[in-house]
Structure 1
Amino acid sequence: MNQERVFQVLVGPHVSEKAAIVADENNQFVFKVAVDATKAEIKKSVEQLFKVKVDNVCTLKVKGKVKRNRFGASAKPTWKKAYVRLEQGQDIDFATVE
């Protein structure tokens, strides 16, 4: 995987109450990723960017909601979420990322 694709796969961390609970209990981190990203690409990009060992990657697509506005209905975009489990003893510190 080329260096440019590494930065295109991960869009950013997903911060929510559920993501904080999962991070504390299961050593997992939640990321928003590109819709066309595969589990192997996600694993490689997290390992290269954060210099950690990834144990498992689970992905899911979040369907965009249909919202009503004064022009009728419009749909929010569909996006992909990845739950990344790190190996025992590994940790990601988002404040000190290079």
Structure 2
Amino acid sequence: MRTSYDVIVRPIVTENSMMQTSDRKYTFEVLKDANKTEIRKAVEEVFGVKVEKISTMHVKGKLKRQGRNEGYTRSWKKAIVKLTEDSKTIEFFEGM
């Protein structure tokens, strides 16, 4: 059985995701087979916040070449988590 720490792979720290933190939206890479209920429980348990809405999407791997060899980067799943108004913020993203 997987834990909450297994569901959340890593936070996504990009320029666009950092702009969304003012709207209380945080972006994470999650397991490919995790559903919205599992993601909600994991975020609430790990960070101690209340989740209002979750949007998920599958990110396809890109074609990359190195010399004559070519292949694809790995595919992964992204979750954008919106917190409720009365919830505290996630401290990891505060110092960025």
TM-score (ref. length: structure 1): 0.87
The code of the aligned residue for 1:77 comes to R
Find the counterpart in structure 2 of residue 7 from structure 1.
Answer: 5
The code of the aligned residue for 2:13 comes to V
* Matching residue within 20, 23, 34 for 1:22: 20
CA distances 1:6-25 after superposition (whole Å, capped 9, x unpaired): 1111001100011011111x
1:56 aligns with 2:53: yes
The code of the aligned residue for 1:61 comes to H
Query: d(CA) in 1 for partners of 2:30 and 2:63?
Result: 21
Number of aligned residue pairs = 92
RMSD: 1.4
| Unaligned segments of structure 1, at least 5 residues | none
* Matching residue within 60, 64, 68 for 1:67: 64
Q: Percent identity?
A: 37
- Point out 4+ residue stretches in structure 1 off by more than 3 angstroms: none
TM-score (ref. length: structure 2): 0.88
Query: d(CA) in 2 for partners of 1:68 and 1:41?
Result: 36
